[in-house]
Chains A and B, each alone.
Chain A
Amino acid sequence: MADHLSEPFEKSAMTNEERVKTEREMRIQFIAFAFMIALTFLAFIAVGAEVAPPGFVISFIIFLAFIQLFLQLYYFMHLKDKDHGWANTFMVSGLVLSIPTVVALILIIGVVKY
């Protein structure tokens, strides 16, 4: 058999074990989605209720956003899987780089100029 690159397959080569794993993965992803919806509700309620001081609310909703980032990256985009070592390396370095970027820009054009 030559290249089998552009023909479809009649069946999946998934073993039973892999099938069970995929089902479980799917369930976990639904739970992660439920969490994301709940976190979004929480963030909107925290701002809409106007009961806590703004400083506290802002740090709270940013914290919630980081949890959502974690859920998306690790569960929806599979970064938690073992064969994602390089993907993790790149993503984490991108995130680490972006923190000083944001801080520096706020300081330079926000605090110094304004």
Chain B
Amino acid sequence: MSETVDVSKGLPAHPERATLEGKNKFVGFWVFLSGEVTMFATFFGTYLGLRNGTAGGPEAADLFHMPLVFIMTMILLTSSLTSVIAITAMKKNQFKKMKLWMWITFFLGVAFLGFEIYEFVEYVHYGLGFSTSAFASSFYSLVGLHGAHVVFGLGWVLLLLIRYNRAGITLTNAPKFYMFSLYWHFIDVVWVFIFTVVYLMGIGGG
């Protein structure tokens, strides 16, 4: 497998796809992401179909607050950029720099998750339980599914960072860090549609 990789000059410029395993993971991960796109589409479609079914419970316009959503959006967008910086450092064989930016990505993700938990707790206090209305169920399913993806991503990067804390950048761990960054960008893309379709459309009427 690795006899096709020229390692005599140092870390290949694209360490994530230098080995056959890396190439396979790369293609496989894009297949997975396209499946995720379709899965999220079903949740978005369900939410859009049911969002007016409030059954006398709280409505979107009463619940959502722009400042909180704005802060969450900024945090997640920035964490997307920090993972880009980390991957650029990885390609240049700068292990410490990559670790630093991955940790920053991790903590931004934790901050985002904290805000999301706070938000859900607030809504429950406001009287929006999971089964209060069709709007409530579809809202919690869609945004909660995104939150579950964030939780998974955080666990993923935490494991990678701890396991490879002193390993340096190798042909084994480079694909793993790269796939995480793809996943993280994907979560960010989903959030872009959530803040547009769920929050801004909820506040802006329509």
Contact = CB atoms under 8 A, between A and B. Distances in A.
Interface of A: 1-15, 18-19, 22, 25-26, 29-30, 33, 36-37, 40, 43-44, 47-48, 50, 54-55, 57-58, 61-62, 64-65, 68-69, 72-73, 76-77, 83, 86-87, 90-91, 93-95, 97-99, 101-111, 113-114
Contacts, number: 198
Interface string B178-196: 0000100110110011011
Contacts of B50: 109-110, 114
Contacts of B35: 94
Contacts of A62: 196-197
A68 B189 CA distance: 8
Nearest to B205: A54
Contact of B49 (A8, A44, A105): A105
Contacts of A95: 34, 37
Contacts of B165: none
Given A43-B196, A114-B53, A9 B80 contact: no
Contacts of B10: 9-13
Contacts of B77: 33, 36-37, 40
Contact of A33 (B33, B81, B204): B81
A98 B37 contact: yes
B138 to A, nearest CB: 9
B200 A22 contact: no
B102 interface: no
Contact of A105 (B42, B168, B197): B42
